[in-house]
């Protein structure tokens, strides 16, 4: 494994990992649905990210596929190197391609965690995000379920995804939040939660850091990633790709121009 991860390291969920992670949503079929067109290539992207480029923060969700990417991660990387953090997300239904529906019922969240443990082949999810806060279920019930699972040893740390300041304040009063994952890129530059995370010492994980590629038109990957990294040491972007060459381009761009 490359011992020099791109853009240095950050501590997330108690583990020192590469500051540039790998988002895995694109390792599926169209509409984030079903298997990728080239399964072997998806496996290769995951393997190269960790074993060639030293990327040790792998972000996924049980909703990707659904279930597809968690199976791919296990096939590509299990048994997982000690330094690798596999972060997943629970609490989302997938009725159809491109269709996402938050579902935070306690029984469903528990079922999601149990199933992710089996698919990934592990005994504990080191970092488990609530994929979305379900407005139809009391927040205390959703967070309380994840706390119970943490107390049972099935979750190590709890994260939040796509939240607003009100959510941040409400949840951080009750639990220690290990990371926050919101959209942020050079086209969507403002998120008030960014500063809240900085002030509370919480890692901020921008998803869609390249805005599905539109932030890197003309082949310039380094500028949008450099802009994110320079926002603060608590920033840990998770660019995604299904292409080994694009992965190499991302790593090279960060190595030559993306460090803060």
CATH of the domain at 206: 3.20.20.100
The answer on pLDDT for 257 being more than 80 is no
**What is the average pLDDT value for the chain, to the nearest integer?**
94
> Does residue 128 form part of some domain?
yes
Which of 98-102, 168-172, 218-222 is least confident?
Answer: 218-222
> Does residue 1 form part of some domain?
no
Please tell me the predicted confidence (pLDDT) of residue 5. 84
CA distance 241 to 44: 11
> Does residue 218 form part of some domain?
yes
> Does residue 2 form part of some domain?
no
204 is catalytic: no
Please tell me the predicted confidence (pLDDT) of residue 86. 98
Which of 155-164, 207-216, 234-243 is least confident?
Answer: 207-216
Region 104-127: mean pLDDT is 98
> Does residue 136 form part of some domain?
yes
Please tell me the predicted confidence (pLDDT) of residue 4. 79
Alpha-carbon 84 to chain mean position: 13
Please tell me the predicted confidence (pLDDT) of residue 214. 58
Dihedrals phi, psi of 253, to nearest 5 degrees? -65, -40
> Does residue 144 form part of some domain?
yes
Tell me if 231 sits within 8 A of 200, measured CB to CB: no
The answer on pLDDT for 198 being more than 60 is yes
The answer on pLDDT for 260 being more than 60 is no
The answer on pLDDT for 112 being more than 90 is yes
- Provide the number of structural domains found in the chain: 1
pTM score > 0.75 for this model? yes
Of the residues 53, 64, 129, 207, only one is catalytic, namely: 64
Region 2-26: mean pLDDT is 92
Helix intervals (H) in 9-160: 39-51, 68-77, 106-120, 139-151
The answer on pLDDT for 213 being more than 90 is no
Please tell me the predicted confidence (pLDDT) of residue 259. 42
> Does residue 3 form part of some domain?
no
Please tell me the predicted confidence (pLDDT) of residue 8. 94
> Does residue 125 form part of some domain?
yes
Taking phi over 0 as left and psi of -120 to 50 as alpha, with beta for the rest, 218 belongs to: left
Question: Domain containing 60: what range?
Answer: 9-257
Tokens, residue 102: 């938050």
């Amino acid at each position: 494994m490359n011992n020099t991860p791109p853009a240095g390291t950050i501590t997330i969920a108690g583990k020192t990992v590469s500051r540039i992670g790998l988002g895995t949503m694109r390792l599926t079929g169209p509409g984030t649905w079903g298997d990728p067109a080239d399964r072997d290539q998806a496996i290769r992207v995951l393997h190269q990210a960790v074993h060639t480029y030293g990327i040790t923060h792998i972000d996924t969700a049980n909703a990707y596929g659904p279930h597809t990417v968690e199976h791919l991660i296990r096939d590509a990387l299990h048994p997982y190197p000690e330094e690798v953090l596999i972060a997943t997300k629970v609490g989302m239904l997938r009725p159809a391609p491109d269709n996402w529906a938050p579902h935070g019922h306690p029984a469903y969240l528990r079922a999601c965690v149990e199933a992710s443990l089996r698919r990934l082949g592990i005994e504990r999810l080191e970092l488990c995000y609530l994929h979305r806060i379900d407005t139809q279920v009391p927040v205390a019930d959703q967070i309380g379920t994840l706390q119970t699972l943490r107390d049972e040893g099935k979750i190590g740390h709890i994260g939040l995804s796509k939240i607003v300041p009100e959510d941040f304040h409400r949840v951080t009063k009750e639990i220690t939040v290990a990371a926050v994952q919101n959209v942020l890129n050079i086209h969507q530059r403002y998120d008030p939660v960014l500063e809240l995370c900085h002030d509370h010492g919480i890692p901020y994980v921008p998803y869609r850091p390249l805005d599905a590629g539109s932030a890197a038109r003309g082949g310039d990957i380094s500028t949008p990633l450099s802009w994110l990294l320079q926002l603060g040491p608590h920033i840990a972007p998770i660019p995604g790709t299904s292409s080994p060459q694009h992965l190499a381009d991302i790593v090279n761009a960060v190595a030559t121009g993306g460090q803060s």
